[in-house]
Amino acid sequence: MFRRPLAVLAVLVVALPAHAQDAPKRLGKSGAWEAYVYPEGGGKVCYMAAQADRLQGGDKGRVGSAIAITHRPKSPGEVSLIAGYGFKKESEAEIQIGGMKHTFFTNGKSAWAKDSKADGAIVTAMTKGREVTVRAVPNKGGAVTDSVPLSGFGDALAAIDKACGVKR
């Protein structure tokens, strides 16, 4: 019963920068998504994340990919992937929301959208979608496909928007 929330919490803690000044404050949970805020450098960082609930391929017992949306003072709405495995060196990950696809560049266990324009398009699609399909190649083994539910995405986004003063 507690395995999934603990796995999500572990992914979120790993995703936090090492220089975070204070522990994150939980803003709430909506559907599959959890939202947090913490102070950094005189400002606030707000983020939300959800973990895949369906996994295909890869090692047995692997942790699924998570998706995070992060608002920083000068870069709101950054979309990232956090994997429970290292991505294959110089590979790209791909997400699909409905008919829309975007590629992400990878580094270690993380991946990011190509630029802020892509971030904006992805967030907009996520507000309208049902799930995000993540396709990637780990540094060991074959390709993996994970599905991240979008239930509760809109409410979690509204919570981090409000906490960090982001207007839509």
| Run of H or E residues at 144 | strand 144-149
Contact 47, 39 (CB under 8 A): no
List residues bridging with 132 in a β-sheet: 148
| Structure confidence by residue, pLDDT tens digits, 9-59 | 444 444 554 444 578 999 999 999 999 999 998 899 999 999 999 999 988
pLDDT at 59: 81
| Run of H or E residues at 77 | strand 75-82
pLDDT at 141: 83
What would the two tokens of residue 133 be? 């399909």
| Structure confidence by residue, pLDDT tens digits, 115-164 | 999 999 999 999 999 999 999 999 988 899 999 999 999 999 999 999 99
3-state helix, strand, coil in the chain (%, to 5): 25, 45, 35
pLDDT at 88: 95
pLDDT at 60: 80
Q: Is the pLDDT of residue 8 over 90?
A: no
| Structure confidence by residue, pLDDT tens digits, 70-117 | 999 999 999 999 998 999 999 999 999 999 999 999 999 999 999 999
List residues bridging with 134 in a β-sheet: 95, 146
pLDDT at 21: 54
Structural domains of the chain, with CATH: 3-164 (2.60.40.1880)
Q: Around Cβ 154, how many Cβ atoms within 10 Å?
A: 15
pLDDT at 126: 98
CA dist., res. 83 & res. 97, Å (int)? 18
pLDDT at 58: 86
Contact 95, 105 (CB under 8 A): no
